Amino acid sequence: MVDLRTEIAGVALRNPTMLASGFLDETGGSMGRVYQAGAGAVVTKSVGPQPREGYPNPTIVELDAGLLNAVGLPNPGVIEYEHEVKRAHAAGAVVIGSVFGKDAEEYAAVAAKMSTYGVKAIELNLSCPHAKGLGTEIAQDASAVRDFTRTVKDVVDVPVFPKLSPNVQDIATFAIAAEEGGADGIVAINTLKAMAITPELKMPSLANKYGGLSGPAIRSIGVRAVYDICDKVHIPVIGVGGIGSGRDALEYIMAGACAVQIGTAILSRGLGVFNEISKEMAFLLEEAGFHSVPEAIGVAHA
């Protein structure tokens, strides 16, 4: 019997599958439901200092090998969001709070507030590819990643996990910067900047024109990113991007991730995806002779 429990920077998880930020996590009711459906933890929608409506529709386009979205960081603001975290906690969920802002001070202020709600860690959305002035530029500047991480670390007691953008030349450089800034872990990768066009209408399919691509199309890019990052930093990594099966998750684990996040696969497999992927991982780990998740972390580097 394989032990699926894992741990990231002191945050204990019953299994390595986490809900990725941006999916079913605007409300506490949905986050509680996802946790009860089997996720090891849930990451909140990225929350900022003020309520934000996001972009007009269409905000989501289904493609053959993924999902393109430009929802534009809608969120009720960190003050209102306390109710949602409370509801998720009432359902038993392990919650990680994702935050964003327009500068380091705003990130820190939102993170500080979020940390008072009892979240187990803070995820820094440093890499939303489609919201102007909010994270996009930071993601391209390694020194900003370091400084933002440090500013947030200074004001919160829980672990801080910067989420990195794959839309850069060398993502490992950014992971090193995050580690220098005091990050307790790294989340990789965010979506890839992308576009779809509707030929019949001669226009981009998203109202925002550009969006972030997720799903199977980006999995190999994410695995490569995690592999590169794990060669360069000593802090734990959470792998995300196109995971839709236990085998996909194991790719990330063997690249060096100690947990994974799942989002787009909810579309094809439903909320049962967390339980199913956990079971598939347990089966594959056992078949490969492992007794626990930690034993398999990073073995592809040998």
Partner 1 sequence: MPRIQVVPLLEIVRETPTTMTYRFRADLGGQPGQFLMVWIPRYDELPMALSYLGAVKGITVRDYGDATHALAAFTAGDRIGVRGPYGNVFRLEGQSVLAVGGGSGMASMIAAIEAFSQQGARVVTAAGAKNSEELLFVERANAAGEVHIATDDGSRGFHGFVPALADKLLARDTFQQVITCGPEKMMYAVVDLARKRGVPVQASLERYMKCGIGICDACALDDKLVCVDGSIFTGEELAESEDFGHFRRDKSGRRVPA
Catalytic residue IDs: 128
* Residue 195 touching partner 1 (CB under 8 A): no
* Residue 275 touching partner 1 (CB under 8 A): no
Q: How many residues bind partner 1 (CB under 8 A)?
A: 43
Is residue 48 within 8 Å of 55, Cβ to Cβ? no
* Residue 272 touching partner 1 (CB under 8 A): no
- Binder of partner 1 out of 169, 201, 234, 289 (CB under 8 A): 201
Contacting residues for 103 by C-beta, under 8 A, at least 6 apart: none
> Among the candidate windows 28-36, 107-115, 230-238, 294-302, which touches partner 1 by CB under 8 A?
28-36
> Among the candidate windows 74-82, 99-107, 109-117, 286-294, which touches partner 1 by CB under 8 A?
74-82
- Binder of partner 1 out of 53, 105, 170, 286 (CB under 8 A): 53
Per CB under 8 A, contacts with partner 1 among 91-130 are 91
* Residue 24 touching partner 1 (CB under 8 A): yes
Distances (CA, A) of 12 to 8, 94, 231, 256, 282: 7, 9, 24, 17, 18
* Residue 60 touching partner 1 (CB under 8 A): yes
Q: Is the CB of 102 or the CB of 301 nearer to partner 1?
A: 102
* Residue 197 touching partner 1 (CB under 8 A): no
Distance CA 150, CA 156 (A): 10
Query: What's the min distance (Å) between Cβ of 137 and partner 1?
Result: 23
For every residue of the chain, DSSP letters joined together read --B--EEETTEEESSSEEEPTTSS-SSHHHHHHHHHTT-SEEEPPPB-SS-B--PPSP-EEEETTEEEE-----B--HHHHHHHHHHHHHTT--EEEEE--SSHHHHHHHHHHHHTTT-SEEEEE---TTSTTTTTTGGG-HHHHHHHHHHHHTT-SS-EEEEEPSSSS-HHHHHHHHHHTT-S-EEE--PEEE--EEGGGTEESSTTS-EEEESGGGHHHHHHHHHHHHHH-SS-EEEESS--SHHHHHHHHHHTEEEEEE-THHHHH-TTHHHHHHHHHHHHHHHTT-SBHHHHTTGGG-
* Residue 269 touching partner 1 (CB under 8 A): no
* Residue 23 touching partner 1 (CB under 8 A): yes
* Residue 57 touching partner 1 (CB under 8 A): yes
- Binder of partner 1 out of 62, 137, 170, 286 (CB under 8 A): 62
* Residue 198 touching partner 1 (CB under 8 A): yes
Q: Is the CB of 6 or the CB of 75 nearer to partner 1?
A: 75
* Residue 25 touching partner 1 (CB under 8 A): yes
Query: What's the min distance (Å) between Cβ of 26 and partner 1?
Result: 4
* Residue 61 touching partner 1 (CB under 8 A): yes
Give me the residues that bind partner 1 (CB under 8 A), please: 23-27, 29-30, 32-33, 45, 51-54, 56-64, 67, 71, 74-77, 80, 83-84, 91, 198, 200-201, 203, 205, 207, 263-264, 266-267
